[in-house]
């Protein structure tokens, strides 16, 4: 047996053919909507963009699009993945997340 070859999987691979360094575990998330005026979301990986009519968040491999009026991000914790939104919520839509530029925070702190 050659040195460094253990389980038969190629170095840096997990056996599925994907690089182990590129895999990000999908963080479970929860939504709590109170009276259509306050939305809290846990398990958010990134906030892609936001304005008064739409907030787009990345949750695992999907995007959560919150539509409404007078929307604002009242609390954001990047470390814990918690987001609180105030305003009149009129829609919650899940979409497949395209491979993108890293979202709002990724663009802000890119080195």
Tokens 């929307």 sit at which residue?
Answer: 71
Tens of pLDDT, residue by residue over 39-78, are: 999 999 999 999 999 999 999 889 999 999 999 999 999 8
Q: What pLDDT was estimated at residue 104?
A: 54
The pTM (predicted TM-score) of the whole model is: 0.66
Mean pLDDT, residues 72-92 taken together: 94
CA 88 to chain centre: 22
Confidence of residue 101 (pLDDT cuts 50, 70, 90): low
Considering the segment(s) 30-108 as one domain, its CATH architecture is: Sandwich (2.60)
Confidence of residue 96 (pLDDT cuts 50, 70, 90): confident
> Per-domain residue ranges for the chain?
30-108
- Report yes or no: 48 and 103 within 8 Å, Cβ to Cβ: yes
């Amino acid at each position: 047996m050659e040195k460094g070859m253990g389980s038969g999987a190629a170095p840096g691979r997990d056996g599925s053919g994907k690089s182990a360094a590129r895999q990000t575990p999908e963080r479970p998330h929860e939504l709590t909507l109170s009276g259509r005026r306050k939305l809290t979301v846990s398990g958010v990986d990134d906030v892609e963009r936001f304005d008064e009519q739409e907030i787009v968040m990345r949750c695992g491999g999907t995007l959560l699009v919150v539509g409404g009026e007078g929307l604002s991000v009242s609390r954001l914790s990047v470390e814990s993945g918690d987001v609180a939104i105030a305003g009149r919520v009129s829609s919650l839509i899940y979409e497949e997340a395209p491979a993108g530029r890293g979202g709002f925070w990724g663009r802000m702190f890119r080195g």
